[in-house]
Structure 1
Amino acid sequence: MPDATDADGLTVGQVSARLDVTVRALHHWDEIGLARPSLRTAAGYRLYTAGDLERLHRIVVYRELGLGLDGIRAVLDDSTADVPGALRAQRTQVAERIDRLRQLSVGLDRMIDAHERGLLLTIEQQAAVFGPQWNPDWPAQARQRYGDTTQWRQYAERSASRGPEEWQAVTDAVAGLDRALGEAMDAGVTPGSPEANRLVERHREVFASYFPLTRQMQVCLGRMYEADPAFAAHYDGIRAGLATWFRRIIDASARSHSIDPDTATWQ
């Protein structure tokens, strides 16, 4: 390496500032032989010449285009390298990344909407999926009431990936459970029996479409199903007294898992 006076060339720090490249990157490129400073001062400090700076400019350009260091070395040093081909390949990769980022952006928008609105269906879609008794104001009311809870966040995460078909499957599962509850009550299934306990487990599985449901939380829901006028009307509309019977089989199942229904809390 030729010697130079301190007035010749540019130091690593100066090149770093001029090209907006970190000193660490310049040292690395020097170590791997991609861009070495051509001069050295009498004191042993390395300096970059105008030719070195031009090479660094080209490295920065190709790096910003996404080429790896090996690819950049080939473009700069291999006279047989197919530069247009390498750039076309890089363009294809960039286009694929752009497509992935667009998809990510759409997913983020849906996740934001799900956290803010809960249900990502139009009013017409809601009526088609949930039936004429559905009130499109319910999601907003639920957001206002539960929006700061962990369960709302879990519900939103599930809702963000669902369209009408997925929600129809959830609705069908709920309707199937409601029918099974009514039929079991008609058949005289008693709380604590294996048949009743299977229905309680089925309820937890179906409810997991909204958010994970612990047994203690399920007890709390059972109380609400019986005490809340809207829920009680729903279940008693299927079979008279079903809301109370449903609460009783939930409580019995909880006791079999060492949970006292009288003291269960939402946890």
Structure 2
Amino acid sequence: MPDVADTDGLTVGQVSTRVGVTVRALHHWDEIGLARPSLRTPAGYRLYTAADLERLHRIVVYRELGLGLDRIRAVLDDSAEDVPAALRAQRSQIAERIDRLQQLSAGLDRMIDAHERGLLLTAEQQAAILGPQWNPDWPSEARRRYGDTTQWRQYAERSASRSPEEWQAIADLVAGLDGDLAKAMDAGVTPGSPEADQLVELHREIFSSYFPITRQMQVCLGRRFEADPEFAAHYDSIRPGLATWFRQLIDAHAVAHGIDPDTATWQ
């Protein structure tokens, strides 16, 4: 605490500079009786004494520790107040806030990492969850292509809070859908049929785990499943021609909902 000797007769402005609080705060503390200046000039202006300044320094310390003004008044003025107990209680609250802030900091680190990497899984976890055909470079490639889109931001935000177990659950749903598509194709399910529409809706529901997918966006995905060599190879490895057949299912379902597949856009 600074030396307060020989400081009787300080003005509000001088005290504001010495203590490091605003003049407005000093006026407020004066009004509520927390810290009133003890002296007055002949013209009626209030002046602070050394004792007043010492009290103000103590108020500032307690306020920085997080005590409210009423509690500070009790600590300073109430002889029955258990000051160590009050400070211990405040220390406990500060410890809780520190813990919360550390959690928020860790969450921010994960969010930043997710926006930059996309998938917060090690290469070993990716192989175990997504299969040996998965290329761990794909998330980085996707970041380069789509990092400035709304969908990438949505994907990153979900990825930041998703555990390996949750990714495994999504991978299992995708694998199950692939199996259902193969069975439906073998059974001769045709585009526009109730069975086909159910599969298309299931696909949109599962893939919306990454980011929300509209029916128009699903049409665009269907085109890519058929045209992109990597996607087409995946679906056609399940059943020859599955990529084209599935795209037809998606298009027929879109038409039933008033969407022209030929003009559908990513929106």
Q: TM-score by structure 1 length?
A: 0.94
Per-residue deviation, 1:17: 1.2
Q: Secondary structure at the match of 2:34?
A: coil
- Deviations along 1:158-190, one digit per CA (max 9) or x if unpaired, are 111122111101101111111111112222222
Query: In structure 2, what is the Cα distance between the partners aligned to 1:194 and 1:40?
Result: 90
Matches within 5 A, 1:5-20: 9-20=9-20
Matches within 5 A, 1:186-197: 186-197=186-197
Counterpart code for 2:23: V
Structure 1 residue aligned with 2:126: 126
Q: Secondary structure at the match of 1:221?
A: helix
- Deviations along 1:101-160, one digit per CA (max 9) or x if unpaired, are 111111111111111111111111111111111111111111111111111111110111
Counterpart code for 2:131: G
Matches within 5 A, 1:78-227: 78-227=78-227
- Contact 2:8 2:50 (C-alpha < 8 Å) held by counterparts: no
How many residues of Structure 1 are paired with residues of Structure 2 in the alignment?
261
Query: In structure 2, what is the Cα distance between the partners aligned to 1:136 and 1:31?
Result: 65
Structure 2 residue aligned with 1:43: 43
Query: In structure 2, what is the Cα distance between the partners aligned to 1:34 and 1:117?
Result: 53
Query: In structure 2, what is the Cα distance between the partners aligned to 1:237 and 1:133?
Result: 12
Per-residue deviation, 1:8: 6.3
- Contact 2:236 2:242 (C-alpha < 8 Å) held by counterparts: yes
Query: In structure 1, what is the Cα distance between the partners aligned to 2:145 and 2:14?
Result: 59
Per-residue deviation, 1:252: 1.2
- Contact 2:30 2:36 (C-alpha < 8 Å) held by counterparts: yes
Change in CA separation of 1:138 and 1:183 when aligned onto 2, cut-off 3 Å:
same
Query: In structure 1, what is the Cα distance between the partners aligned to 2:174 and 2:209?
Result: 10
- Percent of pairs identical after alignment? 83
**Cα RMSD over matched residues?**
1.4
1:63 and 2:68 correspond: no
Q: Secondary structure at the match of 1:148?
A: coil
TM superposition outliers: structure 1 runs of 4+ over 3 Å? none
Query: In structure 1, what is the Cα distance between the partners aligned to 2:28 and 2:245?
Result: 73
Q: TM-score by structure 2 length?
A: 0.94
Counterpart code for 2:191: P
Q: Secondary structure at the match of 1:120?
A: coil
Structure 2 gaps of 5+ residues are 1-6
Counterpart code for 1:177: L
Per-residue deviation, 1:47: 1.8
Structure 1 residue aligned with 2:4: none
Change in CA separation of 1:67 and 1:14 when aligned onto 2, cut-off 3 Å:
same
Counterpart code for 2:225: Y
Q: Secondary structure at the match of 2:33?
A: coil
Query: In structure 2, what is the Cα distance between the partners aligned to 1:32 and 1:161?
Result: 47
Structure 2 residue aligned with 1:3: none
- Deviations along 1:192-213, one digit per CA (max 9) or x if unpaired, are 1222112111111111111111
Query: In structure 1, what is the Cα distance between the partners aligned to 2:177 and 2:31?
Result: 68
Structure 1 gaps of 5+ residues are 1-6
Change in CA separation of 1:8 and 1:136 when aligned onto 2, cut-off 3 Å:
closer
Counterpart code for 2:86: A
Query: In structure 1, what is the Cα distance between the partners aligned to 2:189 and 2:22?
Result: 74
Structure 1 residue aligned with 2:241: 241
Query: In structure 2, what is the Cα distance between the partners aligned to 1:254 and 1:45?
Result: 80
- Deviations along 1:23-43, one digit per CA (max 9) or x if unpaired, are 221122112111112223333
Stretch deviating more after TM superposition (19-28 or 150-159): 19-28
Change in CA separation of 1:39 and 1:223 when aligned onto 2, cut-off 3 Å:
same
